Amino acid sequence: MNFFVNKILILNFIIFSLINLYILGYPCSIKCLKSDSKSIFLISDYHISYNNIKEFIPNASIRKFNNYKILSCEKAFLQCIEKLNPIAQGKIDLFWESSENIHKQFINQSIFNTFLQLPFLKQFIENLENINLYYVDTWRGLFNYYSNLPQEYRKFIQSIEKLILDIIPIQIRHIENLENIKFNYINYSTRLMQELLDRLKDFYRLFIYPNRDSKFCEILIFPPKNIDHIKFWSIFNKLFIVDLADYKMVTDLLISDSKVSILYAGAMHCHTIEKILKNLDFKLKAQKFKDRNLNKLLDKFYNILERNYALLDGIATENDIKLFSKLNLTGPLPLRSSSFDMIIKHIY
């Protein structure tokens, strides 16, 4: 793997090819956005190791979980959730970028280990009556990301068909029938879902239907061998690696009837969702992060990525490589433990 591809993989948070490595994800920013009816907290995770973490606690005691290796910022997050429970004015929805069927190979002894230690998290909050935990990556989880697509091509086709024929149409009808949610949230969410449905149908018509009976689809080999299929991989990655999660997260946040929602997800997802919320009636009220260059770096990176999502696979044009070489692609600093106090302060 050459220098530029390696750098691209780091900033893209592509952990999928690192199955046999120990990867420690960590939160790098918190942002509070408010409308007149909702408070939404976006906690951004950086899905790759930061080698110089100073706040590591080898065996922190968190209630009955005495043998988990966690960071002090993780402990602070759990303590924050405990503090929110008794002061909540109704239910608080905690949305977590995961599903029960995804990335089980990454689960290790930390709730923030690639942000997917859900058994621990579920057990921790099970007695917190005002905190609702929801998986928010269930659609993307249908595909198990980069499964062996040529060998499991039939399963891949069935997952797309399930989204097109079953899951998204039901979701659209559900949103349309909601009550006690702002009309503009319902309208916007419905339009998002219809747009996603149309894009999936187009992808199916162009790439799947013509090859639906093939036992081996050369175009789906991963990792790609060359840039011949760069258009396909840009569409594929944008739709199945990025947007399926973004659409689900945005709609879940908007159609939740809770006055307070917390989303813990990758920085790429939170960055996009923040822009969407600001285009509605949400205002940024507070934020915490240690790396002052984080927002500028994300903006530069995503401007490049939006022109060519095949970069997620390390396929880059010559011009894109030149632009990447000028970026500082080192990871942001992890949050301080005290940063989670912001959620308590701005909850209402």
* Tens-place pLDDT, residues 251-279: 999 999 999 999 999 888 998 999 999 99
Q: Do 78 and 245 contact (CB within 8 A), yes or no?
A: no
- For Cα atoms 49, 55, 60, give the angle at the middle one, nearest 5 degrees: 105
| DSSP symbols for 202-250 | HHIIIIIGGGTT-S--GGG-SS-SSSTTHHHHHHHIIIIIIIHHHHHHH
* Tens-place pLDDT, residues 203-257: 999 888 887 776 556 666 655 556 677 788 888 889 988 999 999 999 999 999 9
pLDDT at 288: 92
pLDDT mean across residues, the chain: 77
For residues 92-112, give the mean pLDDT: 63
315 pLDDT exceeds 60? yes
300 pLDDT exceeds 80? no
What's the whole-model pTM score? 0.83
Domain edges within the chain? 3-146+222-346
pLDDT at 54: 42
Alpha-carbon distances, residue 16 vs 104, 126, 144, 215, 289 (angstroms): 12, 30, 10, 24, 26
**Long-range contacts, 158-161 (Cβ 8 Å, 24+):** 160/200, 160/203, 160/204, 160/208, 161/204
pLDDT at 56: 41
Residues 6+ apart with CB under 8 A from 55: 71, 72, 73, 334, 337
Alpha-carbon distances, residue 8 vs 72, 74, 312, 325 (angstroms): 29, 27, 7, 10
Q: How confident is the model at residue 107 (pLDDT cuts 50, 70, 90)?
A: very low
* Tens-place pLDDT, residues 220-231: 665 555 667 778
pLDDT at 17: 31
Q: How confident is the model at residue 11 (pLDDT cuts 50, 70, 90)?
A: very low
For residues 191-198, give the mean pLDDT: 97
Q: How confident is the model at residue 51 (pLDDT cuts 50, 70, 90)?
A: very low
Q: Convert 163-173 to b/e letters by CB count within 10 Å (16 or more is b).
A: bbeebbeebbe
- For Cα atoms 86, 91, 95, give the angle at the middle one, nearest 5 degrees: 110
Q: Is 65 left (phi over 0), alpha (psi -120 to 50) or beta?
A: beta
pLDDT at 200: 96
pLDDT at 347: 92
Which of 8-17, 94-103, 244-253, 321-330 is predicted most confidently? 244-253
49 pLDDT exceeds 90? no
pLDDT at 223: 56
* Tens-place pLDDT, residues 134-169: 988 888 878 765 555 666 677 788 889 999 999 999
